[in-house]
Amino acid sequence: MSHAMLQDTEITPAFVASQLQLQGITLDEQDLLQTTQHYRLLFSHAERVMSWPLDEHIEPAPEFRPQAAS
């Protein structure tokens, strides 16, 4: 999900229900309201992360490959 989508998305129970439906999940009304609160928290954290400026010259971290025990 892009930064612009995060800014333009209103987190409502209907939005959350549509996202859960994509995964084949249905919730009762109380659970849907609580899940909506969690989505709002998640989106607020994502908004903070997506707003950090990144230097275009920063290299991604290398892939970690654990060594087999000797």
Q: Rounded distance, CA 14 to CA 39, Å?
A: 12
Averaged pLDDT score across all residues of the chain: 85
Q: Rounded distance, CA 35 to CA 41, Å?
A: 10
Residue 37 makes CB contacts below 8 A (sequence gap 6+) with none
The two three-digit tokens of residue 56, written as one number: 């275009």
Q: Identify the pLDDT of residue 54.
A: 79
Q: Rounded distance, CA 10 to CA 7, Å?
A: 8
pLDDT band per the 50, 70, 90 thresholds, residue 14: very high
Task: Specify the pTM.
Answer: 0.63
Q: Rounded distance, CA 60 to CA 57, Å?
A: 10
Share of the chain above pLDDT 70, in %: 87
What length is written for the chain? 70
